[in-house]
Amino acid sequence: MTTSPRSAAENHDAPPVDWNRLARIIGDHRRFLLTTHVRPDCDALGSTLAMALILERLGKEAQIVLGYDVPPNLRWLDRHRRIKELGRDVAREDLGRYDVLMVLDTSAWAQLNHMEQVIRSFAGVKVVIDHHVSTDDLGAESFRDSTAEATGRLVAEAADHLGVGLGEEEATALFAAVATDTGWFRFASVASETYRLASRLVDAGARPDAVYAQLYENETLARLRLFGRVMARAQTDLDGRLIYTWIERADFEATGSLPSDSEDMINTTLSVGGTEGAVILVEQPDGSLKVSFRSRCRMDCAQVAGQFGGGGHRAAAGATIRGKLETVRGQVLDAVRQAMK
C-alpha cells in the first residue's frame, strides 16, 4: 500500500522525514530493541508493536522491552505477549546484544523511567521516531514530524518507504494509535489524510468496532467508581474557561482502581460547555504527581508543561512533578491562568 503525500498546509512547511536514512539503518543491522514511554497509551504501544512486526517482516530480530508493565486495559493490543518488562522478563545486561535501539513516541528522559540507563549506556545505533514537539537529546538519530497526528502515522509511512505491506495485526495496532491520539478523529490534528490512512488500515484488517469496544466498552466497575469521584470534585475558574480536578492515591484504594484507569479522564472535563483549558493532577504510587494539560485556546500546553520539566504538544501535554498535592496544584493553576490570559 502507498500513501499520498500530505499537502503543504498539512505539513506546515515541516522538513520531510528522511525515511531513506532509516531504511539504510535497518538494512545494515539485524537485531533491534524497541521501547516507549512510561504509562504507555495506544499510540505508544500500537506504534511500537507495529514497528516490531514490520522489522520482523524484513527478516530482522525485534524485541520490545519496557521499564514497566503494560496497563491492563491495553493488554489486548499485545495479543502474542511480545512485550517484555525490564527486570521481570529480561535483565539489563542481556540488552547489549542488540544492534539498534528504537525509542518510539517520546524523546524525553523523564518519560523513559527504568529504561533511561539502558538508553544512556547503549553502545549501538539509537533511533527516535516521534511526533511530539518537546524533545531531549537522547544521542539518537531523529525521525520526527511534529505535524503528524500520531506516531502511528509515522510508522505507517516508514512501512511504505520500506516496502512492507501491513497485515491485520499491524493495521489494528496503528488504527488504535491514530484513533486514540486524535480523540477518535475529533481533534484539530485530523486532516483529510488522517481518514485516508484510517481507510487503508481498515482495508488491511483493522476493525474499528472491535477497537472501540476494547477501549470504551470494556470498563471495570472500579474505573467507573473512580470516574465518579474525579468528576464530582471538578472545579472551574476564569469564568468557566478553565476546569480542573485531581486524583489522590486514596481514591485508587477506595475504588479498587489502578493509576492507568485515570487515562483520558481529562478529555471528559472539556465536554463542559465554555471550557477552553483543562488540568488534572494524579498522585502516583511513588508520591509524585502526574499532571496533564489540555487546551483549545491560546494556551500552549507544551510550554506550560515545560515549566515543570514536562512536554508534549500545543493542545495536549504533561509533566511529572514532586511535591505535595495542594502546593503543586496551586503552582500549576497559577501557570495555566497566566497562559490563558
**DSSP type of residue 109:** G
Local confidence pLDDT in tens for the 341 residues of the chain: 333 333 333 344 567 899 999 999 999 999 999 999 988 999 999 999 999 999 999 999 999 999 988 988 899 999 999 999 999 999 999 999 999 999 999 988 888 989 999 999 999 999 999 999 878 899 999 999 999 999 999 999 999 999 999 999 999 999 999 999 999 998 889 999 999 999 999 999 999 999 999 999 988 999 999 999 999 999 999 999 999 999 999 999 999 998 888 988 999 999 999 999 999 999 988 889 999 999 999 999 999 999 999 988 898 999 999 999 999 999 999 999 999 98
Helix (H, G, I), strand (E, B) or coil at 66: strand
The structural domains of the chain, ordered by start, are: 8-215 (3.90.1640.10), 221-339 (3.10.310.30)
What is the DSSP code string of 210-275? HHHHHHHS---HHHHHHHHHHHHT-EEETTTTEEEEEE-HHHHHHHT--GGGGTTHHHHHTTSTT-
